[in-house]
Structure 1
């Protein structure tokens, strides 16, 4: 039996898990930082990296204790090194490299986005590839042609805000707090999704598999404040029903955009399988709409359970695929942050 320790620190969750080559989860530990970033309405990279430094070793130790094994029992250590916040990635990578060197344990690199799609395979217990992969989170809204677990071809991505980032910003406008996804979902339960006529950017463009949520976010701002620059002292009507209606209307618009482009990707690739991952995949309305769409269009849908949608180390079990093909790293392994969008990066903007 092959046993791996997997480490996840790409953003604001410090996580570790122990998994085996049959995708059994021997342990899983996640330390959340949401309460540290709440007052800012988004992830603050410096706060995130400092919190990782404090938590990384206790989280790893807890994962090993839960699994009931020692470092000597491990066949490899896997760590997400791409994409993510630079400081956060570095903490996880340094921890992994230190343990690898000190205990002479092979090192494996994990692509965080590929891992999100692999969560579908972990949950289903069977091969889900090839498929169209849709990753929707606070930092990403991406579509991929996934030939295998490790062979992804980009089909489209957001050209501005990621869907989860838009949820955070709209939640802030509505006074719903952070993180925005769960807050908007809850408020939307009492709202009318047809109350506000919001745009569906790029939905009518059959040539592009990209997303755009910045204009949708701005449309919400205009509905609340009126067009033009916001007066810092301006008052806005945020009575509970209006907030609920806007939350429902915004959520519906985002879901319409995501599903429309997923359907187009399935059509263009001629695949009959859609795998969805990322924090926004935990949204209950999105999940219900996807299930209805799969039944209507006739494709096979895979969505992991909620605990495997948000950032976690269990999805790092994708490292088994690299282990079995001999894809190991030496200690020169570095981070590759890539393009990650987060609310905090634009806190100074009016919207």
Structure 2
């Protein structure tokens, strides 16, 4: 989802607070690509809210209070004289609501599934079948919202994602070269990389700060994209959460907060599933990126990653530089000090 063209340059001032205990502070609000961007008065981004998960707790225009779905303690107040921004947010929220499955339709699917179970037998009700059915019918916008909900919970451990205007071009180029739509770099709490429902890929800051070449970070991104193909993050969530989570998703379009809380804690601690070396080498070849730097980053001796070193598809080639030096240096500084 992208912001409507007529709102691309729209900005407003408002009052924001992270928790009910914090003092409200004056901020600048703008509409970005699928997000509501909240910046301080020095134009430094404080936080990004997904437009797919913005809720309004007041009516009318005097003032309008918004908060992320599931977190009413973090609020943004817009005064009545910021009517253009209030109308823009409300219009985008309505557009998102229309894109979501109608609750009645989801309830109908749940009822239809019950009837099918009577006809076809109890086998259809097995957890695996329910999970697969949920994966088949849940639309992209709901997957993305679940990913945003998980990221918001993960940020309780990792802190806010790293962002800087200077690093944006390098981050965008890295995403394009690895055929990834949404990259997020986190300060702490993550061992290396992680993927969430909706295609969002998280990287620990050390993957850009701790290496001289961007090929290492690119390698971890390519590995995560392959994991998404073989280990769907939403399937992992539903399988681990149990049959009730699949039923809740099918009948309401949402997952319980307790389910999301538990999964966010679990995936930060769980080891990442292995990736097939042959498939990974093919991904490196397709992206024209060297696999050796990634292999040595995983194992400095190279013993455990020898196939990725010996069969590096770019060993005898002269690949196009992944990033310009200036963009790479700025990306390395994305988290600041």
Do both share a fold (TM > 0.5)? no
Structure having the larger proportion of residues in helix: 2
TM score, norm. by length of structure 1:
0.28
TM score, norm. by length of structure 2:
0.29
Higher relative contact order (CA 8 A, sep 6+): 1
